[in-house]
Amino acid sequence: MAGLEYSESDVSEGHDRPLRQQLTEVYRLLLARYGPQQWWPADAPFEVIVGAILTQSAAWGNVEKAISNLKQAGALTPVSLRKLPLDELAGLIYPSGYYNAKALKIKSFVERLGDAHQDSLERLFSLDVPSLRRELLTIHGIGPETADSIILYAAQKPVFVIDAYTRRILSRLGLSPPRNDYSALQELFMENLPTEEKLFNEYHALLVRHGKGVCKKVPLCDQCCLRSVCLHR
Which residues of the shown chain bind ligand SF4 in the complex (CB under 6 A)? 169, 172-173, 214-215, 219-221, 224, 226-227, 230, 232-233
Please, what is the minimum distance in Å from the beta carbon of residue 173 to ligand SF4?
6
Please, what is the minimum distance in Å from the beta carbon of residue 233 to ligand SF4?
4
Among 165, 156, 159, smallest CA distance to 134 is for 159
**Count of Cβ atoms closer than 10 Å to residue 15 Cβ:** 12
Between 11 and 221, CB nearer to ligand SF4: 221
139 Ramachandran zone, left/alpha/beta (phi>0; psi -120 to 50): beta
Between 134 and 233, CB nearer to ligand SF4: 233
Task: Estimate to the nearest angstrom the gap between the alpha carbon of 168 and the chain centroid.
Answer: 15
Between 26 and 63, CB nearer to ligand SF4: 26
CA distances for 57 relative to 65, 101, 104, angstroms: 15, 12, 16
Please, what is the minimum distance in Å from the beta carbon of residue 191 to ligand SF4?
22
Between 153 and 165, CB nearer to ligand SF4: 165
Q: Which residues neighbour 86 within 8 Å (Cβ) at sequence distance 6 or greater?
A: 103, 104, 107
Please, what is the minimum distance in Å from the beta carbon of residue 231 to ligand SF4?
8
Q: Do residues 225 and 32 make contact, with C-beta atoms less than 8 angstroms apart?
A: yes
Between 116 and 220, CB nearer to ligand SF4: 220
Q: For every residue of 36-70, which 3-state class applies, written as one string?
A: CCCCCCCCCHHHHHHHHHHCCCCCHHHHHHHHHHH
Between 126 and 228, CB nearer to ligand SF4: 228
Between 107 and 172, CB nearer to ligand SF4: 172
Please, what is the minimum distance in Å from the beta carbon of residue 226 to ligand SF4?
4
Q: How many CA atoms lie within 13 A of 62 on its CB side?
A: 14
Please, what is the minimum distance in Å from the beta carbon of residue 196 to ligand SF4?
24
- Count of H-run helices and E-run strands, the chain: 12, 0
Please, what is the minimum distance in Å from the beta carbon of residue 207 to ligand SF4?
10
- Scanning 73-120, the segments in alpha helix (DSSP H) are 78-83, 86-92, 99-117
